Amino acid sequence: MQDRLDTLLDTLPRAYPGPGGAIAVLRAGEVLARHAWGYANAERRIPFTPRSLFRICSITKQFTCGVMLAHGEPEALDAAIRARLPLLEGPVPGARHLAHNQSGLRDYWAMAMLLGSPVEAPFGDLEAERLIGATRTLQFAPGTRFSYCNQNFRLLSDALEATTGRPFAELLARHVLEPAGMDTAILAADTRALPDGTEGYEGSQATGFRAAENRILWTGDAGLAASLDDMIAWERHVDATRDDPDAIYSRLSVPVAFADGSAAPYGFGLARGQEFGRAFTGHGGALRGWRSHRLHLAEERLSIVVLFNHMGDAAGATLDALAALLGETRPQPDPGLHSPAWLGSYREPETGLSARIDLAAPGQVRLRFGHGAERLDLQPDGSAGGARTRLHAGPDGLWMDRPQENFRTRLIPCEGAATPDIAGRYHCPEIDAELLVTTAGGVAYGGFSGALGLGRMEMLEPIGPDLWALPCPRALDHTPPGDWTLAFRREGGAVTGVQIGCWLARGLDYRRRA
């Protein structure tokens, strides 16, 4: 195992090239690897070390939930959450729903795109409060589905401040960071800079790297900055308290469920699943210029943390490390399997979103439905599957299973061509935002506008009859929220409106104005 780990440490920087990175591997609380390489700031020639601060991004979510559980049961925050959603019609999600990403809220940085936010615009407390407070409807009933939503955890940190009267940074330090011995970790909500000069980078080895532009103010959703040594301290604390049912990580990693009793693979800011047949808990983190990932295998008492100050595949690097530790090989697609007959374009009826399926590589298909494109490996039985999704044909059509979301659906084929008579202005009363569609030189373009500005025009992609995609190649956060599905409706043959949505923010109705 040590030989495999040594080989991994030698090859990892070139397998995932970028300005800098770090990895830690622990077993039973013992550090097997503590390695950093490259530069924390390439311009200022500051080396990346195990003490360099790093934005761990969404890994913050489990720490936010740890603070919440230190103050009792999640329901103690429900009243403070209701106060922040004064216009919401119908059931209001509770703190437990938020912690499990089962709230039904639309993600606020996806909503910012609908409100016309430029991709490099600042997004701080006022913008967040405005978007959250204006919420009128949910995209599903609380507890019934899963959808990743950053402001779930911002709401939790805001509610903790309101109920305790103390700043979230102080609560985080007192209840989680100090007990775990994370001596240099801090809440660094302002993403423009870190106090030690560590920088995050966009780009690639082929095109070159540049310092990433970040202007979002994150709190309980992605605001924590920590060094590799801080994360080592956290993993040792997790192992040292493993037999205490009242310890923070023991409470964070308990099994959770949906309202119908189905097991939920996500809860309290932690994903639950299996890799190489072993159960894990963990989470990834991503912000423009940063990628991170951690996995904890309780039965094996193994922990792996990978930190990149660039946008490489930290999750892939973590799995490479796990494979080296276990002596396993990451599964590869079978290039000999035939292309399935069900490739094409579909619409999912519950969400209203498009699902586009094409070949990605020999033995693999690409599904464009959720937050980002998924590569699914073809199987000998004619199905295709990946970490989150399975596609399989039945006698009544093509089915899509997404267990993490408590979601199974039959996809509706989109047969026929999209007609171009869709130009006009469309208004959404719920969020007071507008979509402009033009046909400039016979080519359809669309762009959003609203309280946050005037978004750029993007070329629309035809999918099927009255079904189009509006690409979102760049957004406030590390990656865009996914292509927007535009489903136009007609009365008497004339277009009268459009339903707009992506996986993070769906089911919004726009009416044609002109």
200 and 242 together in one domain: yes
457 and 315 together in one domain: no
Distances (CA, A) of 121 to 244, 427, 453: 45, 23, 9
Q: Residue 124 falls within a domain, yes or no?
A: no
pLDDT band at 387 (very low <50, low <70, confident <90, very high): confident
60 and 206 together in one domain: yes
Q: Residue 82 falls within a domain, yes or no?
A: no
Last residue of a domain, one of 393, 413, 433: 413
405 and 319 together in one domain: no
The answer to whether residue 331 scores a pLDDT higher than 90 is no
Q: Which two tokens stand for residue 43?
A: 């311009």
383 and 492 together in one domain: no
Active-site position among 52, 58, 117, 354:
58
Distances (CA, A) of 442 to 438, 459, 465, 466: 9, 11, 17, 16
The predicted pLDDT at position 50 comes to 98
Distance separating alpha carbons of residues 64 and 378, to the nearest angstrom: 38
Distance separating alpha carbons of residues 431 and 512, to the nearest angstrom: 15
Q: Residue 150 falls within a domain, yes or no?
A: no
258 and 358 together in one domain: no
State the average pLDDT over residues 419-438.
Answer: 96
Q: Residue 223 falls within a domain, yes or no?
A: yes
C-alpha torsion 251→253→257→258, nearest 10: 100
Last residue of a domain, one of 413, 445, 471: 413
351 and 286 together in one domain: no
The answer to whether residue 478 scores a pLDDT higher than 80 is no
Last residue of a domain, one of 383, 413, 443: 413
368 contacts 413 by C-beta, under 8 angstroms: no
Q: Residue 339 falls within a domain, yes or no?
A: no
239 and 309 together in one domain: yes
Q: Residue 181 falls within a domain, yes or no?
A: yes
Q: Is 339 a catalytic residue?
A: no
- Please state, as a whole number, how many other Cβ atoms lie within 10 Å of the Cβ of residue 141: 14
Q: Is 157 a catalytic residue?
A: no
Distance separating alpha carbons of residues 290 and 304, to the nearest angstrom: 17
Residue 14: domain span: 2-70+167-326
Residues in CB range of 436: below 8 A, 6 or more apart: 425, 426, 446, 447, 449, 457
Q: Residue 382 falls within a domain, yes or no?
A: yes
State the average pLDDT over residues 196-217.
Answer: 93
133 contacts 86 by C-beta, under 8 angstroms: yes
441 and 493 together in one domain: yes
CATH number of the domain where residue 278 is located: 3.40.710.10
The answer to whether residue 312 scores a pLDDT higher than 90 is yes
Q: What is the pLDDT of residues 335-378, one digit of tens each?
A: 999 999 999 999 999 999 999 999 999 999 999 998 889 999 99
Q: Which two tokens stand for residue 475?
A: 């957004």
308 and 354 together in one domain: no
Q: What is the pLDDT of residues 38-92, one digit of tens each?
A: 999 999 999 999 999 999 999 999 999 999 999 999 999 999 999 999 999 999 9
The predicted pLDDT at position 474 comes to 81
Total domains, the chain? 3
CATH number of the domain where residue 402 is located: 2.40.128.50
Distance separating alpha carbons of residues 81 and 268, to the nearest angstrom: 16
198 and 316 together in one domain: yes
Q: In 3D, which of 91, 93, 72 has the Cα closest to residue 81?
A: 93
Question: What's the whole-model pTM score?
Answer: 0.95
The predicted pLDDT at position 243 comes to 97
66 and 215 together in one domain: yes
Q: Residue 279 falls within a domain, yes or no?
A: yes
